Amino acid sequence: MNDSDDDSLRPATKLVQGGRRAEWTGDPRLGGAIVNPPVWRASTILYDNIADMKARGHATHDKLYYGRRGTPTVWALADALTAMEAGAEGTLLYPSGVAAIAGGLLALLSPGDHLLMVDSAYEPTRALCNGLLARMGVRTSFYDPLIGEGVADLIEPDTKLVFLESPGSLTFEVQDVPAITAAARARGVATMLDNTWATPLLFPALAHGVDVAMMSLTKYVGGHSDAMMGSLTATKALWPRLRQGAYQLGQAVSPDDCALMLRGLRTLDVRMERHGANARVIADWLAGRPEVGRVLCPALPSDPGHAIWSRDFSGASGLFGFTLKGANDAARARFIDALDLFGIGFSWGGYESLAVPSDPASIRSATKWSDPDPLVRLSIGLEDPSDLIADLGRGFASMKGNG
Ligand SMILES: Cc1ncc(COP(=O)(O)O)c(C=O)c1O
């Protein structure tokens, strides 16, 4: 049974139903079914005879052909993610979020093409533009995340793609995605969005005009800080090109990791609700602290991105930032080092809270990050928010005195 392609189902139901096709789980009427698609590990796939082998050489995405093309565990995850985006043709899986970004850009861009990249993008995304893509002859212009429909003025004859990330994962600007995608589409330019912060649960990207929705599944979909993966979910028009690109680059993911991702996906709805609620309690508390300059969290009515966020998103996840008023780097390090419940480490979206320093000023090129106060980014987990607040209080206490 799998009704997850039924668009009448609500998102939480689709998360539960997704990818559980009877051909993979068994059928209760024919000797029984298991709940989860099993882990099918494979490199070699065996054929009945040469005619069969030749016929399956032209196999579609979800027919056994060779291990690199996936097995039912892989297709089950891809199916479940596709079902979350109305209007999507399919989903491709990559070994990390960065691999998904690279896979999309390499498949869609050619030497001589021009790319419009948001200035608030995740740093490795910028590094790809300034490194590998530049060497290949792809030219990148960075644009102001708040440009909205003004992006139209930056589109050149060779512009092939506008890349968005909303909210920016360090600085949390909310982009006017419908305005940007409409302006791009009117000029025949494709759009790709890093939707890792919201996931399709809080922001169905294709319904907002995006052509390719990217996620680092490592974050909220996995949710348990124990596996890495990335995805691209695309419209019918771009799907064949992306799939061909993934095949030619030899991208493959482990079925064991797909099983972990599917396990995470089933509880995404309840986890996101709690991440968002906990983050809101903590953001409100931080906004009232004398040590805090600004809280960068679109869910707060005082945030400059709040109006667009409340228009377009159905909720917030647990990632946001705040500045330490008048503090220096050493005081910020003392603050973070004093935290017990917050881990110090990269990534986010797991069940456990994390804190990291971040320094956007040196990364930007199209816009200026002029806030002199040091920035801390928090990934709020599933702990009781009162315990997290007590922990942050210890951090503030540690900033007092000696330099
Ligand atoms: C916004 C954003 N996109 C993409 C990635 C890359 O994902 P991965 O770590 O799975 O390569 C990250 C990782 O931190 C991220 O924050």
How confident is the model over 316-332, as pLDDT tens digits? 999 999 999 999 999 99
Atom of ligand 1 at shortest range from CA of 99: 11
Look-up of token digits 């995805």: 231
Look-up of token digits 């995006």: 210
Atom of ligand 1 at shortest range from CA of 219: 10
Can you give the pLDDT at residue 401?
A: 65
- Tell the residue nearest (CA) to atom 14 of ligand 1: 347
Our answer on whether the CB atom of 358 is closer than 6 Å to any ligand 1 atom is no
Active site amino acids: 68, 122, 194, 219
**Rounded to 10 degrees, what is the CA torsion of 44, 50, 53, 55?**
180
Distance, CA 127 to ligand 1 centroid (Å)? 13
CB hemisphere CA count around 211 (13 angstroms): 25
Our answer on whether the CB atom of 96 is closer than 6 Å to any ligand 1 atom is yes
Our answer on whether the CB atom of 194 is closer than 6 Å to any ligand 1 atom is yes
Out of 96, 166, 218, give the residue to mutate to test ligand 1, the one with the largest number of ligand atoms within 8 Å of its CB.
218
Can you give the pLDDT at residue 4?
A: 53
Our answer on whether the CB atom of 169 is closer than 6 Å to any ligand 1 atom is yes
Give yes or no for a contact between 35 and 25, defined as CB atoms under 8 angstroms apart: yes
Look-up of token digits 């917050």: 342
The residues that bridge with 215 in the sheet, in sequence order, are 231
Our answer on whether the CB atom of 218 is closer than 6 Å to any ligand 1 atom is yes
- Tell the residue nearest (CA) to atom 8 of ligand 1: 97
pLDDT digits (tens, 9 = 90+) for 155-195: 999 999 999 999 999 999 999 999 999 999 999 999 999 99
Residues of the chain with pLDDT under 70: 1-5, 58-61, 401-403
Residues 6 or more apart whose Cβ sits within 8 Å of residue 387: 341
Our answer on whether the CB atom of 228 is closer than 6 Å to any ligand 1 atom is yes
Can you give the pLDDT at residue 332?
A: 98
Q: Which of 69, 67, 51, 49 is nearest to 59 (CA)?
A: 69
What is the model's pTM? 0.97
